[in-house]
């Protein structure tokens, strides 16, 4: 009940103490159980959001808390004691969130310090879910927005990183994307989790599938003696993120924007996605433009940009002769064309953390230069191979 750890781990610690109270016999176990359950309700209200997301915004943190709460629910049942209403409500909320955050390959969306976990763990957490066997095709949980067509599933990070104590595992990667084509996860992020403590750089902006300016990061983990005292929480200028999703006529639009580059370059980044659900084609536009109402002068006239698409380990990428198209193939062997009108396109080496182990991977990088006094647009799309107009 009183181990090291603050607000961000309180619900998990109280759940563990309550389970310990269920295991211990006699007055010792009963006393421990009652003390832990008395405080658990308030901790869960703080930790589990109304939409079923974890306050850290990590899908994997929500999964692990759900597994712990299910263990507690089973232990109380074996003692013929009722499960507190707060625990049952948290289980229901986390279960709803898990439906949205599970991708077609049976693993989790990998964002904000949460890894993809495993098919077995996700299935175990969803075994009690009687409402839906399949993941939800659309929805928003903990600031992660999901849109889908029959073959494409896209999850976008449409909220700012968690702050304060919750930011110890946060990542400075607004508007980042994960894209699954069928059951093949093609576009992803670095996969960083707290298990890879020596890889803090993978929490920075260039380590996920989003746009960076000047090869800078929007926020950075706290270091030095402050980091030793408070933990490696993410610090830096606040990032304000907006998102709007619309559906109709066989398509889904997702428009998102953030102002994180205002202090450094006086620019905003807007990412527009158009998902054609009939053709299974994703079209996108990256727009970098001067921050509205900006008063201070920015010295730079140009800001070099890089739009990265981190690929899942094992995904094959081949650059076509037109230097604007890349053929992607996942584990199933099905091909997908990535095309862009960006001035410079390259396939470069990268790394991906899987269960705490670092694996080699690839990344698509679209580079160019954006003016700080006018807008810059870069378009790209992802479509099934075999469609008309495929590069030779």
Query: Measuring CA to CA, how many Å separate 139 from each of 98, 358, 374?
Result: 11, 31, 34
Q: How much is the pLDDT for 229?
A: 80
Q: List the domains of the chain with CATH numbers.
A: 1-139 (1.50.10.100), 143-392 (2.70.98.70)
The pLDDT of 28-43, averaged and rounded, is 95
Q: What is the largest CA-CA distance in the chain?
A: 76
Per the prediction, the chain carries an average pLDDT of 92
- Residue 298 clears pLDDT 80, i.e. is over it: no
* Encoded tokens for 5: 């750890």
- Residue 301 clears pLDDT 90, i.e. is over it: no
| pTM higher than 0.85 | yes
Q: How much is the pLDDT for 138?
A: 81
Q: How much is the pLDDT for 388?
A: 42
The pLDDT of 241-268, averaged and rounded, is 94
Q: How much is the pLDDT for 389?
A: 43
The pLDDT of 343-369, averaged and rounded, is 94
Q: How much is the pLDDT for 54?
A: 97
């Amino acid at each position: 009940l009183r181990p090291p750890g603050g607000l961000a781990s309180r619900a998990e610690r109280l759940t563990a103490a309550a389970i310990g109270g269920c295991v211990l016999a006699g007055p010792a176990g009963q006393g421990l159980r009652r003390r832990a359950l008395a405080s658990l309700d308030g901790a869960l209200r703080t930790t589990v959001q109304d939409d079923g997301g974890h306050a850290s915004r990590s899908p994997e943190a929500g999964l692990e808390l759900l597994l712990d709460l299910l263990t507690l629910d089973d232990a109380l049942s074996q003692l013929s004691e009722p499960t507190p209403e707060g625990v049952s409500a948290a289980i229901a909320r986390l279960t709803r969130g898990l439906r949205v955050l599970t991708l077609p390959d049976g693993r989790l969306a990998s964002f904000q310090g949460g890894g993809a976990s495993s098919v077995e763990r996700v299935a175990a957490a969803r075994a009690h879910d009687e409402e839906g066997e399949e993941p939800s095709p659309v929805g928003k949980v903990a600031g992660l927005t999901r849109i889908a067509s029959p073959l494409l599933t896209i999850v976008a990070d449409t909220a700012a990183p968690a702050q304060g104590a919750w930011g110890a595992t946060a990542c400075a990667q607004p508007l980042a994307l994960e894209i699954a084509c069928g059951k093949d996860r093609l576009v992803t992020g670095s996969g960083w989790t707290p298990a890879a403590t020596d890889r803090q750089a993978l929490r920075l902006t260039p380590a996920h599938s989003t746009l960076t300016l000047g090869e800078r990061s929007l926020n950075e983990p706290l270091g030095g003696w402050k980091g030793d005292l408070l933990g490696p929480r993410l610090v830096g200028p606040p990032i304000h993120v907006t998102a709007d999703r619309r559906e109709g006529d066989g398509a889904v639009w997702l428009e998102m924007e953030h102002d994180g580059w205002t202090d450094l370059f006086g620019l905003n980044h807007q990412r527009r996605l158009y998902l054609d659900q009939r053709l299974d084609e994703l079209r996108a536009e990256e727009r970098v433009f001067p921050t509205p109402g900006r008063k201070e002068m920015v010295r730079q006239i140009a800001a070099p940009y890089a739009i990265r698409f981190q690929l899942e380990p094992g995904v094959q990428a081949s650059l076509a002769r037109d230097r604007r198209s890349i053929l992607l193939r996942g584990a199933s062997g099905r091909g997908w064309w990535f095309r862009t009108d960006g001035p410079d396109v390259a396939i470069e080496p990268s790394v991906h953390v899987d269960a705490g182990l670092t694996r080699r991977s690839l990344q698509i990088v679209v580079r160019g230069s954006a003016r700080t006094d006018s807008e810059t647009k870069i378009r790209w799309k992802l479509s099934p191979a075999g469609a008309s107009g495929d590069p030779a």
